[in-house]
Amino acid sequence: GAAGRPGSLLSRQLQELWRKSRGSPAPQRLLFEVSSASVVSERSSKYVLYTIYLIRSGRLDRAPAAITRRYSDFERLNRCLRCRFGCDMASIAFPRKRLHHNFTAETIAKRSRAFEQFLSHLHSIAEIRRSPEFLEFFFLQDLRAAQRLTCTGMYREALATWANAYRLQERLGVCGSGRFLLTLAGLAVCHQELDQLGEAHGCCEQALQLLEAQGSHPLLGPFLQAHVHLAWKVGKDKRHSEARLQELREAGPALQQQPTLKECLIKEPLE
C-alpha cells in the first residue's frame, strides 16, 4: 500500500512534516464529509452510525481516510473539549439530542451536516486541532483494534486498520508523534508476517528517518534490528542501521534484551 512505499515520503518532506507538526498553522484545509449514515439495531438499542471521510482539499486522495462514529462518540468529544477549552468552544454549535424522530431521514441528514460543521470548526482552532482529545477521537479506536488484531495473528485485517490509522494521522498532520511511530511498527510487523518484505522495509525506513531527530526512543533499537534484517532479505543497504545499532549497544545496557517490534506492539498500552 501507499503507506509502505519507501519513496512515498522522502526524508525532506518528512522533516518538513515533522517541523510542521511541532506547532503549526493548519497544514492544509481538511474537509470532513459524512459519506453515509446507517441505522444499526442491536439487542436493546438502536443508533445511527455515521461514516466520515477526511479529505484534503485540492488533493486527489486515492485511498480515503475514514472513521465511523455514533452520536454518543461526538457527544463525548464535545463534552471533553468544553471542559478543557471553554472559551474557544463557546461559539461552536453541537446538535442537541432529540426525544423523538432520531431515525428519520431528515434528522439524520441534518445531523450529518451539523457534524461536518462541528469537526471543521474544531479543526480551524489551532489549540483544539493539536489537542489529544481531538486527535484521538479520529485514530485511537483504529489503533486499539489494529493492536488487538495483530496480537491475535489476524495480520491481513490488522494491516488494513493500521493503514487507515496511518492515513488519518497523515491528514491530521501528526506524523511526528509516538502514536505515528507505533502505527509504522504495526504496518512493518503485518507486512513482514504477510511476506510483503519490501513494504515492511519501507515502513522501517520511514520510522528511522523520523527517529533521526530524536536522540533515544524505546522503538529505535527494535526498528534498527528489523531494518537490518529486512534490508538483508530484500538486498538493500543496511550499513547505516548496523552502525547505529553498534552505537546503541556501546552506549547503553546490553541490547540483547531489546524487544522485537512485535513485542513492543503487544506491550504498548493504548490508553
Q: Is residue 139 part of a domain?
A: no
Residue with C-alpha cell 482552532?
Answer: 125
Q: Is residue 140 part of a domain?
A: no
Burial of 205 (0-12, 13-18, 19+ CB in 10 A): buried
Q: What is the mean predicted confidence (pLDDT) over 169-176?
A: 90
> Please, which residues have CB within 8 angstroms of residue 10's CB and are 6 or more apart in sequence?
none
- Containing structural domain, residue 251: 155-267
Which of 27, 28, 47 lies closest to 37, judged by CA?
Answer: 47
pLDDT value for 2: 44
Say how many domains are in the chain.
2
Alpha helices (H) in the chain, listed in sequence order: 11-21, 71-84, 86-89, 105-123, 126-129, 132-151, 155-171, 178-193, 197-211, 220-234, 239-251, 261-267
Residue predicted with more confidence, 7 or 193: 193
Domain boundary among 96, 114, 130: 130
Q: Is residue 73 part of a domain?
A: yes
pLDDT value for 253: 66
71-111 pLDDT tens trace: 999 999 999 999 999 999 999 999 988 878 888 999 999 99
pLDDT value for 48: 95
Q: Is residue 23 part of a domain?
A: no
Domain boundary among 88, 114, 130: 130
67-80 pLDDT tens trace: 999 999 999 999 99
Q: Give the CATH number of the domain where residue 52 resides.
A: 3.30.1520.10
Q: What percent of the chain has pLDDT over 70?
A: 88
Same domain for 263 and 163: yes
pLDDT of residue 230 exceeding 50, the answer is yes
